[in-house]
Amino acid sequence: MNGFDELGAEAAELVRPYVITKGRGLPDEAQLSLVTLVTAAEEGQQRRPTRLSPEEQSLLDLCTAGYLSVAEVAGHTRLPIGVVRILLSALDEGGYLITRPPVQRAALADRDILEEVLNGLRAKFG
């Protein structure tokens, strides 16, 4: 029995993501987090090269429907989140994707203003 037979499935699980990502590392969390929204660029549709990997092609096809978060894309593709982040980062660098941070939370309303509104509603409607 050789060493490959002993590693078999475990080695295949480790090698496949490395091959899919072409050995690239994870992008910075600030650049592409789980809640970053991505969509396919309009001009990228016309100039889409055939040299994209099948995984990159399927990510790009998925992103043509509109904005999705990185986590949603990973869920649809059933690829590991790290692999999806790496592939989306490469597509973004190639100009095939548009990314934008999620909408920031609104500031909390001032408690005094809310109480004045409540008192006004009570006075008007009982």
Q: Which tens digit of pLDDT belongs to each residue from 42-67?
A: 865 555 556 888 888 888 999 998 89
- Cα separation of 90 and 101, whole Å? 17
Residue 96 tokens, joined: 């095939």
CB half-sphere exposure, 21, CA atoms < 13 A: 21
Q: Looking at the whole model, is its pTM more than 0.85?
A: no
Q: Which carries the bigger pLDDT value, residue 21 or residue 71?
A: 71
pLDDT of residue 20: 66
Name, in order, each residue with C-beta under 8 angstroms of 20's C-beta and a sequence gap of 6 or more: 53, 55, 79, 83, 87
